[in-house]
């Protein structure tokens, strides 16, 4: 019986594979096995996998696939075949791997530190996380959902599986600077003032500007582009615009002495009047200077002595005669 069914000792890394009529059986070492000489068999070596090693295996019976990682001594199942072998990737805490399933197209991200072993249908791309300091940010958009957001430093930032991103630097604003911001999603506008490091929101478009520094003799005319209303801002002050404000160039007030005056007209109402010194004259947005021979519009009054007088003729034309 022993001669008909010889005994074989299997080492630790050996496997006996026996072909029956319709099935295959395997016996893994170490140990003694009885071998039927009337059946086809062979002895194979196990696969030794190190810490970074892996193999891809396919079951020929049901078509399923799997990945086997080390460290270990690996024996194939009765219907399994090796499809490939490789080494995993060691990721540091600053790295991540973007993984895509070639069968389903699904993506996922795994961050380090770890040793990444790909699955049977996976491909991966190793990349570095984005290091952001306290004045940097990333503008992120999810290509799957369209959602946007902004991530600020300081940090190490890792993207999601479907995220696209662009790195930028915050805008330093001094105490006299500002940004006019419009939200492209809602259409709302706002003004953000310094001093600060300013970061945009995910839907913000912006322009940087400087405030107007006005002395006690200066002023500007401001028009609200939303309502059309006009107003005047006098110094001394540092003026910041509202989100819909448009300002004129800085203007100088008219300085009037005791014996000086200007003729004015309000073009919105048609009212005319004379403004006399002494003092500063700030022209409202609807005021205009009339009938002046000088570029500034300032005219001198006439001084009368004890026996002098003015003769005023109204018709047919206004005329003043000193006597």
pLDDT at residue number 5: 61
| Mean pLDDT over the full length of the chain | 89
pTM of this prediction? 0.70
Kindly report, residue by residue over 62-114, the tens digit of the pLDDT: 988 888 988 999 999 999 999 888 988 999 999 999 999 988 899 999 999 99
Half-sphere exposure of 24 (CA within 13 A, CB side): 15
Taking residues 245-251, report their average pLDDT.
Answer: 93
pLDDT at residue number 2: 46
**Beta-carbon contacts of residue 34 (< 8 Å; ≥ 6 apart):** 5, 6, 7
Computed on alpha carbons and rounded to an integer, the radius of gyration of the chain in Å comes to: 44
**Beta-carbon contacts of residue 63 (< 8 Å; ≥ 6 apart):** none
Kindly report, residue by residue over 261-298, the tens digit of the pLDDT: 899 999 989 999 999 989 999 999 889 988 766 667 88
Cβ atoms of 7 and 32 closer than 8 Å? yes
Which contacts of 25-32 are long-range, i.e. CB under 8 A and separated by 24 or more positions?
25/78, 26/75, 26/76, 26/77, 26/78, 28/75, 32/7, 32/8
Kindly report, residue by residue over 253-262, the tens digit of the pLDDT: 999 998 888 9
Mapping DSSP to helix (H, G, I), strand (E, B) and coil, where does residue 271 land?
coil
Percent of the chain with pLDDT over 90: 65
Model confidence band, residue 1 (pLDDT cutoffs 50, 70, 90): very low
Report whether pLDDT(317) > 60. Answer: no
Kindly report, residue by residue over 192-220, the tens digit of the pLDDT: 999 999 999 999 999 999 999 999 999 99
């Amino acid at each position: 019986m022993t001669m008909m069914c010889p005994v074989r000792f299997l080492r630790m890394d050996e496997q006996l594979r026996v072909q029956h009529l319709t099935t295959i059986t395997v016996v893994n070492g170490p140990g003694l096995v009885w071998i039927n000489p009337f059946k086809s068999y062979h002895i194979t070596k196990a696969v030794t996998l190190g810490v970074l090693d892996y193999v891809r295996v396919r079951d020929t019976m049901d078509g399923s696939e799997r990945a086997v990682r080390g460290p270990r001594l690996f024996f194939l199942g009765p219907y399994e075949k090796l499809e490939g072998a490789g080494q995993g990737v060691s990721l540091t805490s600053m790295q991540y791997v973007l993984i895509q399933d070639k069968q389903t197209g699904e993506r996922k991200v795994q961050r380090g530190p770890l040793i990444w072993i790909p699955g049977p249908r996976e491909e991966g791309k190793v990349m570095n996380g984005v290091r952001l300091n306290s004045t940097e940010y990333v503008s992120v958009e999810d290509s799957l959902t369209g959602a946007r957001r902004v991530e600020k430093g300081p940090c190490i930032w890792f993207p999601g599986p479907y995220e696209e991103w662009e790195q930028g630097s915050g805008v330093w604003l001094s105490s006299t600077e500002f940004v006019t911001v419009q939200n492209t999603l809602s259409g709302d506008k706002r003004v953000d003032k310094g001093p600060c490091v300013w970061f945009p929101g995910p839907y913000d478009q912006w322009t940087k500007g400087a405030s107007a520094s006005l002395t006690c003799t200066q002023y500007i005319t401001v028009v609200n582009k939303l309502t059309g209303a006009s107003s005047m801002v006098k110094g001394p002050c540092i003026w910041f615009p509202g989100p819909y404000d448009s300002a004129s160039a800085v203007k100088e007030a008219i300085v009037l002495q005791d014996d000086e005056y200007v003729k004015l007209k309000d073009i919105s109402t048609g009212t005319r009047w004379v403004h006399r010194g002494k003092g500063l004259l700030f022209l409202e947005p609807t005021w205009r200077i009339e009938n002046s021979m000088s570029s500034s519009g300032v005219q001198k009054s006439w001084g009368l002595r004890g026996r002098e007088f003015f003769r005023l003729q109204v018709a047919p034309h206004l005329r003043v005669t000193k006597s």
